[in-house]
Structure 1
Amino acid sequence: MACPAVRSLADQYRFICIYPAYLNNKKTIQEGTRIPISKAAENPTATESQDECSAVGLKAFLEKNKMYSREWKRDAQHRGRVRVQLRQEDGSLCLVQFPSRKSVMLYTAEMIPTLKTRT
């Protein structure tokens, strides 16, 4: 599924971007992790993040050809980002259990190790 184009400044605030480096427990803060290492997943992929966001009911779009700017490895495992709709057009939350980008990242990192592909 392709990501819809972000048409206006208001749309930019409705969608958040999640790169695999944000959730990786093998990365340092300088390398891009955005959540505590103890809660991060081991080498997550963008596809896994998209699967978890979609499973909980968030609209998530995978952009396969995007790369995190701090990522020096150019292999397929580190490619991609996920755009997740956090707010609706009127500004209300899509799901009340996810009021912020950090809550989405923490949930995604917590659920990635439970995927069938990981067990």
Structure 2
Amino acid sequence: MHAFEVLGDPVRRRILELLADGELASGQVCAVIQEEFGISQPAVSQHLRVLRDSGFADVRAEGARRLYAVNSAPLAEVDEWLNRFRRFWTPHLDALATELARGARERRLRQDEQDERKSP
């Protein structure tokens, strides 16, 4: 399965978001996903299997529990592929950051002027 097919599913993306914060037992993942998406435990297990089989998640046994964690290698490959397209949005994000900083500076200056007028 191609990386974008794996990442194209909102349930699998959410599972990866959960795992990005650290290793979780399959039961913990199932509880969150069942709550948020209203799908069955077998359906969640199927998504975990797709993530494991495609290399996006690693699993290890700890007694009867199965602990899942993100495997960053496929994500690095996706990031590398996306790198050729960053030129389309990076300048826009840089310009946005500049405008936000300019606005914050102007608000600070106005606040300083108001504070100076209030003090005797």
TM-score (norm 1): 0.30
- State the structure with bigger RCO (CA 8 A, min sep 6), 1 or 2: 1
**More helix per residue:** 2
* Structure of greater Rg: 2
TM-score (norm 2): 0.30
